[in-house]
Amino acid sequence: MASRDIRYNYVIGDVQGCFEALKALLKKIQFDADQDFIWFAGDLVARGENSLGALRFVKKLVDHGVAATVLGNHDLTLLACARGLKELKDKDRTADIIDAIDSDDLIDWLRKRPLCLFPHPQIVLTHAGIPNIWSAAEAAELAKEVEAVLGHDDFSVMDSFLADMYGQQPDLWSDDLQDNARLRCITNYLTRMRLTDATGKMEFSFKDSLDEPMPQGYKPWFEFESKATQTHQLIFGHWAALQGKTINAKIQNVDGGCVWGHQLLAYRLEDQAMFKVDNPVMSFK
């Protein structure tokens, strides 16, 4: 928890640049910066109508000590594009961030965000979840390895990883993994994972709802017996098709698919209440 006295803690799902929806959601929950705290589940930017405005706003909240955020896969993509290591796609709608007068400050701030947070000693937040083979403590320690590289004082250290970050291999964790392969695997688990097999091997093509047929041998990562849920509740975003589904008492999704014309969600930790607002901007597709 934050150090000051907190009335309510809210976890907000993937904003993806949907700034008007974010403002509407904060109004709905009657967010009070003097009493409340916001935990963002990552993917602050990408395909919504105003990624620059959303990023500036969240940064301001974090800098004032009333919010925190984990990194999502779209946030990492922005870092790679800003560093000239990946081609910027028009559909991501983040060019204005890279061109902004405060771009350097925004990118430097973003790269120093964590991949794993604990809103409560028994609650863990990552963008995509935690594989069944890791405990919450293991996930947090492995996340620190990536965070140390992304936030390194020497930008060339970060660039070396970002240039090699994309890829689906290795798709299975091993303690013996080293260098960028190790970092890539950790990053994929925490920011891209949806399906795995029982051993924790990832499958990257599936993005649909739980009702759709899945590749043989694979299931949603949260359907396997989990080391992390033995000690913690897991909260994650990333999977828009889940629409903020409560998987079970220990696993909660908060991605309402706002950027796809659905809803932005805020999950209140104190009583498990879910608050929703429709996306008021429909011209993002």
Q: What is the pLDDT of residues 168-179, one digit of tens each?
A: 999 999 999 999
Domain ranges in the chain?
A: 8-278
First to last CA, the chain: 37
How many residues are present in the chain? 285
Given a contact cutoff of 8 angstroms between Cβ atoms, the answer to whether 235 and 254 are in contact is yes
Given a contact cutoff of 8 angstroms between Cβ atoms, the answer to whether 24 and 43 are in contact is no
In this prediction, residue 282 carries a pLDDT of 66
Low-confidence ranges of the chain (pLDDT < 50): 1-2, 283-285
φ/ψ of 18, rounded to 5, equals -85, 75
Report pLDDT digits (tens) over 184-223: 999 999 999 999 999 999 999 999 999 999 999 999 999 9
Alpha-carbon distances, residue 13 vs 9, 72, 129, 144, 150 (angstroms): 13, 11, 13, 22, 23
Which of 106, 8, 40 has its CA nearest to residue 255?
A: 40
| Sign for the pseudo-dihedral over CA of 59, 60, 62, 66 | negative
Q: Which residues pair with 36 in a beta bridge?
A: 8
Q: What is the dihedral of CA 179, 180, 186, 188, to 10 degrees?
A: -160
Stated pTM of the model: 0.96
Question: Would you state the CATH architecture of domain 8-278?
Answer: 4-Layer Sandwich (3.60)
